[in-house]
């Protein structure tokens, strides 16, 4: 990388994240000044957005090639008081907590104390949500049965398609005007649609103004700049900001700047989950790259430098500061923008191109935790592509992760998406399949499957608190067979899913009603055409997900009940409950039986894997197809981010031999240390999941570097991945590091600041992880040759 990029990268990496009061202040100022005006919510939200974009500080480093920051400077993270108003205690905790801190200076504290908190207390979405949730919901939430994604962040979970490469904002404005003109005044929803379209128009104006402000500022800077090359750069950037987003981009650089303006817009309007994401970057940019390379107006080095500048932009944007359970479930600065490479073109042919490899070079050279990156691997893609990705993975910073395009397309097709929409899709966030540019696929919360087993064992009672959180499904000591036990488990599961979905429906309405997103709606088909907000169901496809967590642990738990209690009768139900209550104290023999002499998921053992299939069916049936309020349906996926640590902390000892408080298994990986037959058996067990009926599964495998030291190792890993994908596996991610290295880093974090590991669907600095999570990563079975 050249000096310019090196300097910008260092600035990005070395700057500590901080809380910026700028956005909260502008939002508060606007709401205060318009109180009592009879504005519709969409219009009010669009005007808030415009007020921010018209007044926020314009950050500009003289070396930058792409402009635009969410905060007033890199790593300065704004807050979103209309959703979650941080209290003084929250700010203190953010500033002082050991892991994932955000510094908060005195001025910021003062602004929060005097302006922001007094205005928003009692009016934020978070307070609204907790205020109306039913008692059953609150009890389950507090017991750690499920989490709630929307309690402090907006539903985003979406990815941009190819719209901005075809249309400028002037074109989009025309589309809005046409849509408005085409409305039928007899339509009972006429005024609602008209207000939404007016709001969208204001939102286009907001981004155009923001770009214009940059163009003016860059021109001013160019006038006073003495250095001729800097001057030329500033002039060029000024002209780019005048061209995009108003008009469709015509060059590689215009395309990148256009995307970045849109990105800043989406993550400033609200704080949507997974930030925003250009999706299939190599597909979208390739036509510009090819054309300019052929014309001679762009060199490979220039393209590389511009991409590196974009990477730094992503890294400048830590996730908005989280609090409470959400901070535990998602303990990371990463904001989950996941760039997709490879895969298929809409016509079904190999999508890998020259630019794909150039972007892989950029990933390798930049070594940043953001953006997250992944390769989509289809049977149509060449092996060389997969092996180049493994080359980067083996350098050990957890990127890129590897996805099965052919499975993703089948998943999306099964959900009723068009073939071309499915091929133009991919995975975002951690592993979630989506139709890019056309789908609102909202993750609503993690669901603690092993906790449901614990509650079944206690007939609805949570033994951690003594509170009745579930329903009466009978004293398990009275059950004569595993079938009876499983039926009770199914009833508890259905009960909690009902409670969760009831909450989801209410929360979805609250976002549609109070916090519409007219700017995001401009970008996702078919919101403009329908005159309907993204939160209301304006997208072409509308999915709500519940993410199952702890599949390995719950499988081992129910397998142990089946085998040890009902079949081999090694322990009675009373004896079992007593041992669990005492966390196996004085009962190590029984625990040894559970751990070492009972079939476990992850070993290609059908006794355990058949139980896994039963659980999968029960979870799938409980969730899949249940309608949401946006014209779509609920579906399942299986991924944890970091919630398996939190969920483990609220779950007592289990019949799989896991002690109270220990982490649950993560994703669809086997429980930590319980896979003892090597990676092929893990893949075989995981391959028995019906991935195609999910919206994504997450499988974590750790390899030591020496396994991938030579060509042969890389070939073997490529074959392993291909074989897993032939079993329809959705995704696999690889940690390449030794446990010794990790232990060393735990003891001497100062020596290992740069050590990046794969956590779950994203990579993070190891020393930034909590002790519990660090231990858990070390524990994950290390597969090395013996």
Partner 1 sequence: MTVFLKGCPLGCLWCHNPEGIAPGLDEFGRIISVQELMTEIEKDRPFMDESAGGVTLSGGEPLSQPEFLVSMMRQCRDSGIHISLDTCGHAPADAFDATLDLVDLYLYDLKFMDDELHRRYTGVSNGLVIRNCKKLDELDRKTLIRFPVIPEITGTAENIRDIGDFISSLNNIKTVDLLPFHRTAEGKYERMGIENQLKGVDPPSEDDVAIAKRILGGYGLEVLVGGSA
Q: Which of 411, 432, 662, 782 is catalytic?
A: 432
For the bound state, the minimum distance from the C-beta of residue 734 to partner 1, rounded and expressed in Å, comes to: 16
* Given 33, 711, 747, 750, the residue binding partner 1 (CB under 8 A): 711
- 121 CB-near residues (< 8 Å, 6+ apart): 85, 127
Q: Residue 487 is encoded by which pair of tokens?
A: 């039926």
Place of tokens 């649609």: 193
Binding window for partner 1 (CB under 8 A); candidates: 207-215, 343-351, 625-633, 713-721: 713-721
For the bound state, the minimum distance from the C-beta of residue 526 to partner 1, rounded and expressed in Å, comes to: 41
Contact criterion met (CB below 8 Å) for 303 and 358 = yes
Query: Is residue 723 close enough to count as binding partner 1 by CB under 8 A?
Result: yes
x-marked contacts with partner 1 along 240-279 as a string, rule CB under 8 A = ----------------------------------------
For 189-204, give the DSSP string. THHHHHHHHHHHHHHH
Active site includes 502? no
Count the alpha carbons within 13 Å of 714 in the hemisphere toward its beta carbon: 16
Distance of alpha carbon 627 from alpha carbon 514, whole angstroms: 21
Residue with smaller CB distance to partner 1, 56 or 684: 684
Q: Which of 22, 148, 292, 430 is catalytic?
A: 430
Residue with smaller CB distance to partner 1, 345 or 722: 722
For the bound state, the minimum distance from the C-beta of residue 402 to partner 1, rounded and expressed in Å, comes to: 14
SS3 readout for 720-743: HHHHHHHCCCCEEEEEECCHHHHH
Contact criterion met (CB below 8 Å) for 355 and 285 = yes
Active site includes 432? yes
For the bound state, the minimum distance from the C-beta of residue 375 to partner 1, rounded and expressed in Å, comes to: 17
Residue with smaller CB distance to partner 1, 471 or 607: 607
For the bound state, the minimum distance from the C-beta of residue 677 to partner 1, rounded and expressed in Å, comes to: 9
Residue with smaller CB distance to partner 1, 243 or 730: 730
Query: Is residue 715 close enough to count as binding partner 1 by CB under 8 A?
Result: yes
Query: Is residue 607 close enough to count as binding partner 1 by CB under 8 A?
Result: no
3-state secondary structure of 187: coil
Query: Is residue 722 close enough to count as binding partner 1 by CB under 8 A?
Result: yes
Query: Is residue 604 close enough to count as binding partner 1 by CB under 8 A?
Result: yes
Torsion region of 339: left, alpha or beta (phi above 0 gives left; psi -120 to 50 gives alpha): beta
Cα→Cα distances 158→336, 341, 418, Å? 11, 17, 17
- 28 CB-near residues (< 8 Å, 6+ apart): 81, 115, 116, 119, 120
Residue with smaller CB distance to partner 1, 23 or 684: 684
x-marked contacts with partner 1 along 509-548 as a string, rule CB under 8 A = ----------------------------------------
354-386 per-residue burial string, b: 16 or more CB within 10 A, e: under 16: ebbbbbbebbbbbbbbbbbbbbbbbebbeeebb
Residue with smaller CB distance to partner 1, 569 or 712: 712
For the bound state, the minimum distance from the C-beta of residue 278 to partner 1, rounded and expressed in Å, comes to: 32
Query: Is residue 727 close enough to count as binding partner 1 by CB under 8 A?
Result: yes
For the bound state, the minimum distance from the C-beta of residue 716 to partner 1, rounded and expressed in Å, comes to: 7
Q: In Å, how far from its chain's centre is CA 6?
A: 28
Query: Is residue 414 close enough to count as binding partner 1 by CB under 8 A?
Result: no
x-marked contacts with partner 1 along 671-700 as a string, rule CB under 8 A = ---------xx-xx--x-------------
Pairing between β-strand 426-428 and β-strand 432-434 as defined by DSSP bridges: antiparallel
Query: Is residue 213 close enough to count as binding partner 1 by CB under 8 A?
Result: no
Residue with smaller CB distance to partner 1, 239 or 784: 784
Instruction: Report how many residues bind partner 1 under the rule CB under 8 A.
Output: 17
Q: Supply the angle between the helices 482-514 and 606-623 in degrees, to the nearest 10.
A: 40
452-464 per-residue burial string, b: 16 or more CB within 10 A, e: under 16: bbbbbbbbbbbbb
Residue with smaller CB distance to partner 1, 636 or 683: 683
Q: Residue 620 is encoded by which pair of tokens?
A: 């799938």
Contact criterion met (CB below 8 Å) for 774 and 742 = yes
Distance of alpha carbon 671 from alpha carbon 656, whole angstroms: 9
Distance of alpha carbon 190 from alpha carbon 182, whole angstroms: 11
Residue with smaller CB distance to partner 1, 300 or 715: 715
Sign of CA dihedral 662, 668, 669, 674: positive
Distance of alpha carbon 51 from alpha carbon 654, whole angstroms: 53
209-233 per-residue burial string, b: 16 or more CB within 10 A, e: under 16: ebbebbbebbbebbeebeeeeeeeb
Residue with smaller CB distance to partner 1, 726 or 771: 726
Query: Is residue 105 close enough to count as binding partner 1 by CB under 8 A?
Result: no
Backbone phi and psi for residue 232, each to the nearest 5 degrees, phi listed first: -65, -40
For the bound state, the minimum distance from the C-beta of residue 680 to partner 1, rounded and expressed in Å, comes to: 5
Residue with smaller CB distance to partner 1, 471 or 720: 720
Binding window for partner 1 (CB under 8 A); candidates: 312-320, 506-514, 700-708, 715-723: 715-723
Binding window for partner 1 (CB under 8 A); candidates: 223-231, 267-275, 285-293, 720-728: 720-728
For the bound state, the minimum distance from the C-beta of residue 691 to partner 1, rounded and expressed in Å, comes to: 14
* Given 54, 471, 510, 720, the residue binding partner 1 (CB under 8 A): 720
Query: Is residue 783 close enough to count as binding partner 1 by CB under 8 A?
Result: no
Residue with smaller CB distance to partner 1, 506 or 607: 607
For the bound state, the minimum distance from the C-beta of residue 604 to partner 1, rounded and expressed in Å, comes to: 5
| Burial (0-12, 13-18, 19+ Cβ within 10 Å), 61 | middle
Query: Is residue 235 close enough to count as binding partner 1 by CB under 8 A?
Result: no
Query: Is residue 719 close enough to count as binding partner 1 by CB under 8 A?
Result: yes
Distance of alpha carbon 481 from alpha carbon 614, whole angstroms: 15
Q: With CA atoms as reference, report the closest residue to 393 among 707, 786, 784, 72.
A: 707
Q: With CA atoms as reference, report the closest residue to 58 among 268, 230, 315.
A: 268
For the bound state, the minimum distance from the C-beta of residue 674 to partner 1, rounded and expressed in Å, comes to: 18
Pairing between β-strand 439-448 and β-strand 461-462 as defined by DSSP bridges: unpaired
x-marked contacts with partner 1 along 50-89 as a string, rule CB under 8 A = ----------------------------------------
For the bound state, the minimum distance from the C-beta of residue 738 to partner 1, rounded and expressed in Å, comes to: 16
* Given 121, 726, 748, 753, the residue binding partner 1 (CB under 8 A): 726
Query: Is residue 710 close enough to count as binding partner 1 by CB under 8 A?
Result: yes
Contact residues: partner 1, CB under 8 A? 604, 680-681, 683-684, 687, 710-712, 715-716, 719-720, 722-723, 726-727
* Active-site residue set: 430, 432
């Amino acid at each position: 990388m050249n000096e310019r990029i090196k300097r910008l990268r260092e600035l990005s990496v070395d700057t500590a994240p901080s809380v910026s009061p700028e956005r909260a202040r502008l939002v508060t100022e606007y709401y205060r000044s318009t109180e009592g005006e009879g504005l519709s919510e969409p219009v009010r939200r669009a005007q808030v957005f415009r007020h921010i974009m018209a007044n926020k500080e314009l950050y500009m480093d003289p070396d930058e090639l792409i402009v635009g920051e969410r905060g007033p400077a890199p790593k300065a993270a704004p807050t979103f008081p209309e959703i979650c108003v941080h209290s003084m205690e929250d700010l203190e905790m953010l500033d002082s907590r050991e892991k994932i801190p955000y510094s908060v200076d005195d001025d910021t504290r003062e602004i929060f104390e005097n302006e922001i908190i007094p205005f928003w207390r009692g009016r934020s979405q978070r307070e609204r949500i907790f205020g109306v949730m039913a008692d059953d919901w609150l009890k389950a939430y507090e017991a750690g049965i499920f989490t709630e994604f929307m309690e402090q962040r907006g539903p985003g979970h979406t990815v941009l398609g190819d719209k901005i490469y075809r249309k400028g904002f002037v074109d989009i404005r025309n589309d809005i005007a046409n849509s408005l003109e085409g409305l039928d005044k007899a339509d009972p929803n006429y005024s609602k649609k008209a207000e939404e379209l007016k709001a969208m128009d204001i939102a286009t104006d907001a981004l155009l103004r923001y770009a214009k402000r940059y163009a003016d500022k860059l021109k001013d800077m160019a006038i006073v700049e003495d250095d001729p090359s800097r001057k030329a750069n500033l002039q060029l950037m000024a002209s780019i900001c005048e061209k995009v987003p108003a008009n469709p981009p015509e060059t590689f650089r215009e395309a990148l700047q256009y995307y970045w303006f849109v990105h800043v817009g989406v993550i400033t309007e609200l704080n949507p989950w997974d930030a925003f994401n250009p999706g299939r970057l190599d597909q979208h940019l390739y036509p510009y790259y090819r054309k300019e390379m052929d014309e001679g107006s762009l060199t490979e080095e220039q393209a590389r430098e511009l991409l590196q500048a974009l990477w730094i932009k992503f890294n400048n944007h830590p996730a908005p500061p989280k609090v409470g359970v959400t901070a535990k479930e998602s303990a990371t600065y990463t904001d989950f923008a996941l760039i997709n490479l490879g895969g298929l073109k809409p016509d079904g042919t190999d999508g890998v191109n020259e630019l794909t490899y150039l972007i892989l070079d950029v990933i390798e050279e930049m070594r940043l935790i953001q953006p997250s990156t992944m390769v989509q691997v289809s049977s149509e893609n060449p092996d060389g592509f997969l092996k180049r990705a493994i080359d980067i993975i083996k350098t050990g910073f957890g990127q890129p992760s590897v996805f099965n395009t052919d499975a993703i397309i089948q998943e999306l097709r099964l959900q009723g998406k068009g073939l071309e929409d499915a091929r133009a899709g991919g995975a975002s966030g951690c592993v979630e399949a989506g139709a890019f540019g056309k789908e609102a696929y909202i993750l609503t919360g993690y669901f603690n499957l092993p906790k449901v087993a614990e509650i079944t064992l206690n007939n609805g009672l949570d033994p951690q608190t003594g509170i009745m959180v579930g329903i009466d499904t009978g004293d398990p000591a009275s059950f004569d067979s595993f079938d009876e036990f499983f039926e009770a488990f199914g009833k508890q599961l259905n009960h909690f899913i009902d409670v969760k979905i009831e909450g989801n429906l209410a929360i979805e309405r609250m976002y549609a009603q109070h916090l519409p997103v007219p700017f995001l709606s401009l970008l996702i088909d078919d919101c403009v055409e329908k005159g309907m907000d993204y939160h209301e169901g304006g997208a072409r496809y509308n999915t709500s997900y519940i993410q199952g967590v702890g599949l390995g642990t719950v499988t081992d738990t129910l397998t142990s009940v089946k085998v040890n209690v009902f079949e081999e009768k090694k322990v009675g139900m009373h004896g079992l409950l007593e041992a669990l209550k005492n966390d196996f104290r004085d009962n190590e023999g029984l625990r040894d039986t559970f751990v070492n002499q009972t079939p476990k998921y992850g070993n290609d053992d059908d006794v355990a894997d058949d139980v896994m299939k039963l659980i999968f069916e029960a979870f799938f049936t409980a969730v899949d197809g249940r309608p949401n309020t946006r014209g779509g349906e609920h579906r399942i996926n299986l991924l944890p981010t970091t919630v398996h640590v939190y969920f483990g902390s609220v779950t007592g000892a289990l019949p799989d031999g896991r002690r109270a408080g220990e982490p649950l298994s993560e994703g669809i990986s086997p429980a930590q240390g319980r896979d003892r037959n090597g990676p092929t058996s893990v893949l075989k067990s995981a391959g028995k999941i019906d991935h195609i009926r999910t919206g994504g599964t997450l499988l974590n495998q750790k390899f030591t570097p020496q396994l991938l030291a030579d060509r042969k190792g890389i070939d073997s890993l490529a074959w392993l991945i291909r074989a897993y994908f032939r079993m329809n596996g959705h995704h696999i991610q690889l940690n390449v590091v030794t446990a010794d290295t990790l232990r060393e880093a735990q003891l001497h974090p100062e020596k290992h600041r740069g050590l990046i590991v794969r956590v779950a669907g994203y990579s993070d600095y190891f020393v930034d992880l909590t002790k519990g999570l660090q231990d858990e990563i070390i524990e994950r079975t290390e597969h090395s040759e013996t």
